[in-house]
Chain A
Amino acid sequence: MLYAAGIAANSSGEHDMVSADLLSKYPFFAVLSPRTQRHIAERLVPAEYSPGVDLYQQGDPPTPLYMLRTGRVKLYRQSRDKCQILALPLPGDCLGAESLSTGAPSPYSATTLAPTSAVYLPPDVLQALLDELPDFQEAFLKLITNRLKQFVTLVHDLAFRDVTSRLAMILLARAESEGQPHEGGIVFDRLLSQQEFADMVGTAREVVYRTFKKFEDERLVNLTRTTILIRDLETLRAIALQEAR
């Protein structure tokens, strides 16, 4: 087995049954019939992962479909010493099985950034369920399409926005999806090292360092080792929307 099976969720080594209710927390599967949801839940395997574990790697054969319950994962492509982070799925998001339909190598890698718990469907089980349940097949198609839409946006940002605007865009998106009100601003877990921010923006670490410094000098953000506080969301938004190229 090439993918990380993780640690079984209980001490006996056997995994707990996953409740069908769990699927109603995933937007793409909440629309499925109760019967389909039960059917899928019976096959879901729960697992826990430490930070830094590769769920799967770019080039692997078709992988399981993972549904994140807690924690964080980065999706990225790597060549030589360069890395491009493509997405940071949140709990409630799904990842994996991107190449199940084509049998091609996985287009990117997935690595945990924090202690993560997930449930997954191994590729053969997933394929059998897709063949058996037409409504699940359609939900899976929507899932792939949604990832496609995210990548279309990413391509646009990489092509047309400069580093400052892209970093602002990433901070803005994370403030909107993960932020909590704090001291008149919005705070969220830093999660990424400066190198990883650079890998998301598509630039060098020094450039990210300088850009963060500029944002701090302009009182737009406050960085600590573990958190990021957005102090001026509107100015950051204006910077994010600039298309410099």
Chain B
Amino acid sequence: MAESLPINFNELCEIPAFRDLPAQQVQSLAAVMVRRHYAPGQFIFIEGEQADSLWFVFQGRVKIIKHSLNGRVQGLCLMNRGKCFGSCPLFEMEKNPATAQALDQVTLFVLPEEALQQLKGHDPHLVKALLHIYSQRLDHLARVSEVLGSWTVSDRINDCLLTYANREGPQSYVELTQEKLAALSGTVREVVTRHLGLLEKEGIVRNETGRIVILNADALLPPCSCEDHSTHA
């Protein structure tokens, strides 16, 4: 975590949850929120720690993961620009339910619990914004539960490839190591390696150093292919 600079009105308006707030509310939020920077790999908060803030991604990507008692890591999602994460410190959820880690250079806007409490008391617009955020999270977690519960490992890896694909012109590619892909899809690296090998053989992807190029996205569509993958992140 580096310096903490003030946040300006226009920057805050780029966060979807705040777009519909009256200007005055955005101003008061901008006054109490702080900016924080994280280096790749740096932990933002750890599962089980006291939860004390609501976090919004301004730049970069944040990985949300859970650890089992045995130390196994399960990736839940990647949060990119505009997304909100963190637990629900306002509502008796005192401990962080998961761990957040910066995937690349990350800039976050942080709304500390104390400021949130103060604003919430006399600001129904803010409650509305929170409701919006939490409804999105609910939708996301319902999807994650389904993915974990009823898809095969191959389905999960395919889904991750589609979810985390970047598009560059006509080409799609995924810039994740096999280890990270394994964590995000709830398996081990060896299984990912084997599966990517099969996909390459079938001409569905091409494995390059540091990235996986997707050649046939349709072939990767797992069950429930009607889902909009842009909402996963």
Contact = CB atoms under 8 A, between A and B. Distances in A.
B146 A84 contact: yes
Interface in B60-95: 66, 68-70, 72, 74, 76, 88, 90-91, 93
Given A101-B128, A245-B70, A147 B148 contact: no
Which of A80, A108, A152 has the most chain B CB atoms inside 10 A of its CB? A152
A152 B97 contact: yes
A225 interface: no
A108 B142 contact: yes
Given A108-B142, A155-B66, A84 B150 contact: yes
A11 to B, nearest CB: 38
21 contacts: A77-B146, A82-B150, A84-B149, A84-B150, A98-B135, A98-B138, A104-B135, A104-B139, A108-B142, A141-B91, A141-B127, A144-B134, A144-B135, A145-B93, A151-B145, A152-B141, A155-B76, A155-B141, A155-B148, A202-B149, A202-B150
Interface of A: 77, 79-80, 82-84, 86, 98-102, 104, 107-108, 134, 137-138, 140-142, 144-149, 151-152, 154-156, 158-160, 199, 201-202, 243-245
Interface of B: 66, 68-70, 72, 74, 76, 88, 90-91, 93, 97-98, 124, 127-128, 130-132, 134-139, 141-146, 148-151, 186, 223-224
Given A101-B128, A141-B131, 19 more contacts: A77-B146, A77-B224, A99-B135, A101-B135, A102-B132, A102-B135, A107-B138, A137-B124, A137-B131, A145-B90, A148-B141, A151-B138, A151-B141, A151-B142, A155-B145, A201-B149, A202-B148, A202-B149, A245-B70
